[in-house]
Structure 1
Amino acid sequence: MKNLLLSAAALAISATMAFAGDQYVDETGYAVSGYDVVAYFDLEQSPVGSAQPAGTPGDASITAEYNDATWAFSSEENRARFLENPAAFAPQYDGHCAYGVSRGGKVPGNPNLWRIVDDKLYVNITPVVVGFFEEDIPGNLSLAEGNWPGIEGDAASTSTIPQWNSEAPVQN
């Protein structure tokens, strides 16, 4: 019986791992282009239809590994908060555009086109796409949640974020 339980647990873990998606990492070499994902939760969010404040660049000397990617943070405190529960701070859909996922694909997420909904961080690819996403946030998230299981295991996007400076914003 004990062997059966261990086998079932191992199978469940391996099945879960098989469906884990790859984190989007752009030319900077960092998840979320080197921005501090914890800092988004401390920024004042703009109303729907208004541009969000820019994200906070991380520091190259304050990093952590999660989901096979390097994450940068602006402070040791933010790094510690992230390490306590990385999934609570990492952007949804492995850093891919939330609207893109709602349409069934993986495209890059721009770290300065973000929104927090129900304590979850979402990023989108372009300002135009943000407009489409914000026309019906609940509906688009419902579509994305329905699509994600079918595309999560696909490779991460290898595309460049449009109109994006590919130099890492991280401070040295």
Structure 2
Amino acid sequence: MRKSILFAAVASLALAACGGAAEAPAETGSETVAAAESTVTDLGGTPSGPVFTENQGDTLALSGYDAVSYFVGDGVPVEGSEEFTVKYQGYDYRFASEDNASTFAADPAKYVPAYGGYCAWAIGANNALAPGDPNVYEIVDGTLYLNFNEDVQKRWEPKKDEFIKQGDENYPTHDASEHYKA
């Protein structure tokens, strides 16, 4: 119960800081729960670049994987649950636990994947958008980078610093409304 109250407090502070409108929470006993059961909180904001989703217009980011799971414990990514969803910059991020959702809500920029979850090699080497696979990743200097597949990851590895530098320049040139086209 203490975690739920703490999460509600963190979520309220985050909403107030972002100036976003929130639905009034429902009271159940001494616990506060979000009115919309599948969305824990909406942090507001707008994307600064494209975010990879399965289909254009979808809002599920990172293919539903828990962004915090890459950084905690054994660092193995796990799928999130609709029950623990945080909306950030218009996209839904799912988490495996309330603790991970709270951690993300406190500092989302720390956990979202670079380049909106698009392939780090494609954006760095070719200034192109290609899907990032949430199971093919590396954390470099505290930032999560996804790649298309293991073969691409092998091409990215030896020159990742160069690809990251170029990706950091290329990604902002893409509009937030863009989506990967096969």
Q: State the TM-score, normalized to the length of structure 1.
A: 0.71
State how 1:116-155 maps to structure 2 within 5 Å.
Answer: 116-153=139-176, 155=178
**Kindly tell me: are residues 34 and 120 of structure 1, through their superposed partners in 2, closer, same or farther at Cα, counting changes over 3 Å?**
same
Instruction: Please report how far the alpha carbon of residue 19 of structure 1 lies from its aligned counterpart in structure 2 after TM superposition.
Output: 7.8
**Kindly tell me: are residues 122 and 43 of structure 1, through their superposed partners in 2, closer, same or farther at Cα, counting changes over 3 Å?**
farther
Note if 1:23 corresponds to 2:69. Answer: no
Q: Distance in 2 between matches of 1:115 and 1:121?
A: 6
CA RMSD between the two structures = 2.2
Q: Distance in 2 between matches of 1:39 and 1:148?
A: 25
**Kindly tell me: are residues 67 and 23 of structure 1, through their superposed partners in 2, closer, same or farther at Cα, counting changes over 3 Å?**
farther
Instruction: Please report how far the alpha carbon of residue 157 of structure 1 lies from its aligned counterpart in structure 2 after TM superposition.
Output: 1.9
Aligned-pair identity (%) = 28
The SS at the match of 1:60 is strand
Q: Distance in 1 between matches of 2:174 and 2:145?
A: 17
**Kindly tell me: are residues 31 and 18 of structure 1, through their superposed partners in 2, closer, same or farther at Cα, counting changes over 3 Å?**
closer
Which residue identity does 1:24 align to in structure 2? F
Listed as ranges, the gaps of 5+ residues in structure 1 are 1-16, 46-53, 160-172
Which residue identity does 1:25 align to in structure 2? T
**Kindly tell me: are residues 43 and 99 of structure 1, through their superposed partners in 2, closer, same or farther at Cα, counting changes over 3 Å?**
farther
Equivalent residue, structure 2, for 1:90: 112
Equivalent residue, structure 2, for 1:35: 65
User: Greater relative contact order (Cα 8 A, min sep 6): structure 1 or 2?
Assistant: 1
Q: Distance in 2 between matches of 1:138 and 1:146?
A: 13
Q: Distance in 1 between matches of 2:104 and 2:165?
A: 26
Listed as ranges, the gaps of 5+ residues in structure 2 are 1-44
